[in-house]
Amino acid sequence: MIKSYLPVLVLFAVSLITAVAMVAMTHMLNPARPTNQKDMPYESGMIPLGDARRRFSVKFFLVGIIFIVFDLETVFLIPWAVSYRSLGVFGFVEGIFFVLILGVGLVYAWKKGALEWD
């Protein structure tokens, strides 16, 4: 029974040893030397304005979620576009239906003001 799990246990042990060795080597080869310049928050070369822990508007996150939804739409549309001829009329109608549902969602978000940055 143990012989069947032996390769998995060896892989786990090698992974664990590698991870511990990488962390140990990082601390040995590059000890932490904090300075005031290193401890400053980096803002693309500009002096930071305000507190780094300020709260963002919910609209920022809403636009991010909408972006992810439409990004995932392309993940589903690319394979459909590649093979839509082999899917026939049913596949074409299903693809159009999918795009219409997402279009209705976009219009709804637009009408609710989710894309406004006021």
Beta strands in the chain (DSSP E): none
Q: What are 43's strand-pairing partners?
A: 46
24, pLDDT greater than 90: yes
Query: What gap in Å lies between CA 84 and CA 102, rounded to an integer?
Result: 19
Q: Can you give the pLDDT at residue 52?
A: 66
pLDDT tens for each residue of 28-50: 998 788 888 777 777 676 766 77
**DSSP assignment string, 55-86:** PPPHHHHHHHHHHHHHHHHHHHHHHHHHHHHH
Query: What gap in Å lies between CA 107 and CA 63, rounded to an integer?
Result: 14
pLDDT cut 70: percent of the chain above it: 93
pLDDT tens for each residue of 97-115: 999 998 998 898 889 888 8
Whole-model pTM?
0.49
Task: Set out the domains of the chain in order of their start, with CATH numbers.
Answer: 2-111 (1.20.58)
